[in-house]
A and B are shown apart, each in its own frame.
Chain A
């Protein structure tokens, strides 16, 4: 008997794009497209169940087996280091993690660098490789504000078009890592629902190739 596969989708624009990829791959779920307040959407015929979760929580749902498959940004995977399989790069939600600062900033390296970020682990690893002493200021949003108010010297954050930076007189000074959406799978689910998950992954891989 075919087993139902649980898929955690990241809420927001990226999640909608991802769902459309699943739909095009043959794993549609009509109820998800209706306007309602349901949390879980199931297509029994296709043995598939979707749910929307906060993007930064996708890796937790997958790592702990509440979801068999999830789609998370590489930023989330690098930051939280979940013990999961990363089977596909979906090549969507492309952006980059970068270091940005005020336009006139230059790092004299004479004192500890103050870094504001939502991604403390990624920032720490990046500067560890450079042997640069930093002070991490862990923020949860509006990171761009930190250098403007002199809360930090630089920020480590996701840059898509760079327009928020430009409008606030900030600029990218270094790239940290390119980011895109990845399809991740729970390690144990991959053993016990192998045929079902492999079928989904190969259909999704075709979607990536066709783009």
Chain B
């Protein structure tokens, strides 16, 4: 029987292929230079490195997106749609040691317009739906956040502090920060609204319209709201939240950013966004948007299937006649599960227990 994470990988692959995304299989290693130049883009900046036989410094891939961008052509009018299902190597938060994480995701790179951006966000919502009907997709817009921060004329250091408050919805520290920076009431209100306004798109849209004043802020808000409307009209009403705490990196992300959650898993299972600024930094003209699904988080929910019932357990002895045993196995119904073992297996359950002795297989225990 397939595990939950395996089922998810198959379902996502089917979904991505339906929308014309093609599989991108990449090598396990990448030149370390690629990550040094874009260290902040990585979730954890620790990378496993080694020197290959020709003396080049290589890394075990900590991320898939950078490798895909590096190889995507910059052709005007062209859009590349790829998906992947790869292992990446990162430091885990709890143990501070390296671990292998299975990641499935997609990237859409090239001369993108509104359609592609909307398609990718829609695919993110559909991916969550395929994994669990009980999902929530939080959406934010980095353009909106960076415009507000720009218009408040904050230094880079202060911007980082505001973003930190934003990420942890920390309105009390933001208030003291605004006070310390002597921001006027309008700017303080604006920043505070970014932290406290969250929830159903229509409600947030109305609330933010009251405080946003500049044209670039409002146009980013409209862009965000139009995508939310689209998702809701697709049938995901009540599952889409505008939440500006999602965005984290002003340096790489430019437009819409999002995170997906499913009930029962205490961390976000999907994360993505539009990262035109990363491409610009790499000297490219294209736009790009993508997301990753952390399917490994699903395997932790599989406790019910951890000890499946085996239909037939056969104890073999030193004098078991292999030919007779194989003949007996052939006589068992094909769909039934089987385990031939020298001793009673620990922690396993079975329906029937046999002993194979002197060329005879005898039933010695039967459980309903």
Q: Contact residues of A with B, CB < 8 Å?
A: 63-66, 83-89, 186-189, 191-192, 194
B172 touches A89 (CB 8 A): yes
B→A interface (CB under 8 Å):
93, 134, 136, 138, 168-173, 199, 241, 245, 261, 263, 265-268
Contact partners of A66 in chain B: CB under 8 A: 266
A191-B261 CB under 8 A given contacts A65-B266, A186-B266: yes
Q: Is the CB of B172 within 8 A of A191?
A: no
Q: Which residues of B contact A187 (CB under 8 A)?
A: 261, 267-268
Query: Given the complex of chains A and B, what is the CA–CA distance between A88 and B171 in angstroms?
Result: 8
Contact (Cβ within 8 A) A86 B168: yes
Closest CB-CB distance, B239 to chain A, in whole Å? 10
Question: Are A191 and B266 touching (Cβ within 8 A)?
Answer: no
20 pairs, A vs B, C-beta closer than 8 Å? A63-B266, A65-B266, A65-B267, A66-B266, A83-B267, A85-B168, A85-B170, A85-B245, A86-B168, A86-B170, A86-B173, A87-B170, A87-B171, A88-B172, A187-B267, A188-B265, A188-B266, A188-B267, A192-B134, A192-B136
| Residue from A86, A189, A191 in contact with B138 in the complex, judged by beta carbons closer than 8 Å | A191
Least Cβ–Cβ distance between B165 and chain A, in angstroms: 9
The residues of B that contact A89 with a CB separation of less than 8 Å are 172-173
Q: Are A188 and B268 in contact (CB under 8 A)?
A: yes
Per the bound structure, the CA–CA distance linking A114 and B62 in Å amounts to: 35
Complex alpha-carbon distance, A87 and B268, angstroms: 19
Q: Which residues of B contact A191 (CB under 8 A)?
A: 136, 138, 241, 261
Which B residues touch A189, using CB under 8 A? 266
Query: Which residue of the partner chain, among B169, B241, B263, contacts A87 with CB atoms under 8 Å?
Result: B169
Return B137 CB to nearest CB of chain A, in Å. 10
Closest chain A residue, CB of each to CB of B267 = A188
Q: Given A89-B173, A186-B266, A191-B138, output 8 extra A-B contacts at Cβ < 8 Å.
A: A63-B266, A65-B266, A86-B170, A87-B169, A88-B172, A188-B266, A192-B134, A192-B261
CB distance from B129 to the nearest CB of A (A): 15
Contacts of B138 in A (CB 8 A): 191
Q: Chain B contact residues: over half helix, strand or loop, or mixed?
A: loop
Nearest CB in chain A: distance from B151 CB, A: 25
Q: Are B199 and A194 in contact (CB under 8 A)?
A: yes
| Total cross-chain contacts (CB, 8 A) | 42
Closest Cβ of chain A: how far from B140's Cβ, in Å?
13
CA distance A114 to B241 in the complex (A): 48
B176's nearest neighbour on chain A, judged by CB, is: A89
Minimal Cβ-Cβ distance residue in B for A178: B176
Give the residues in chain A near B241, CB-CB below 8 Å.
Answer: 191
Residues of B near A84 (CB, < 8 A) are 168
Shortest Cβ distance from A187 into B: residue: B268
Give the nearest-CB partner of A193 in chain B: B263
Q: Which of A84, A89, A186 has the most CB of B within 10 A?
A: A89
Bound CA–CA A189/B261 (angstroms): 10
Complex: chain A residue closest to B138, CB-CB: A191
Q: What are the nearest 4 A-B pairs in CB distance?
A: A65-B266, A89-B172, A85-B169, A191-B136
Most buried by A among B134, B138, B170: B170
CA distance A86 to B176 in the complex (A): 15
Q: List B contacts of A194 (CB < 8 A).
A: 199
- A85-B245, A187-B268 as given contacts; A192 in contact with B169, CB under 8 Å: no
Known: A85-B168, A85-B169. A64 touches B266 (CB 8 A): yes
* Cβ contact within 8 Å between A192 and B263: yes
Chain A neighbourhood of B136, CB < 8 A: 191-192
Q: Shortest Cβ distance from A132 into chain B, in angstroms?
A: 19
B171 / chain A contacts, CB cutoff of 8 Å: 87
Q: What is the bound-complex CA distance between A85 and B138, given in angstroms? A: 14
CA distance A65 to B172 in the complex (A): 23
- Closest chain A residue to B265, Cβ basis: A188
Q: Which residue of A lies closest to B243 (CB)?
A: A191
In the complex the two chains form, what is the Cα distance from A192 to B260 in whole Å? 12
Tell me the bound Cα distance from A187 to B199 in angstroms: 13
B340 to chain A, nearest CB (A): 40
Contact partners of B199 in chain A: CB under 8 A: 194
Report the bound CA distance from A186 to B169 in whole Å.
12
B207 to chain A, nearest CB (A): 15
Within the complex, the shortest CB–CB distance from A121 to chain B, in Å, comes to: 12
A12 to B266, CA, bound (A): 27
In the bound complex, residues from chain A placing their C-beta under 8 Å from that of B170 are 85-87
Residues of B contacting A192 in the complex (Cβ-Cβ under 8 angstroms)? 134, 136, 261, 263
Nearest-neighbour CB distance to chain B for A61, whole angstroms, equals 10
CB distance from B81 to the nearest CB of A (A): 29
CA distance A85 to B165 in the complex (A): 9
For the complex formed, measure the closest distance between the CB of A86 and the CB atoms of chain B, giving whole angstroms: 5
**Nearest Cβ on chain A to B56's Cβ, whole angstroms:** 32
A63 CB contacts on chain B under 8 angstroms: 266
Pick the most buried of A84, A89, A186, A187: most chain B CB atoms within 10 A of its CB: A187
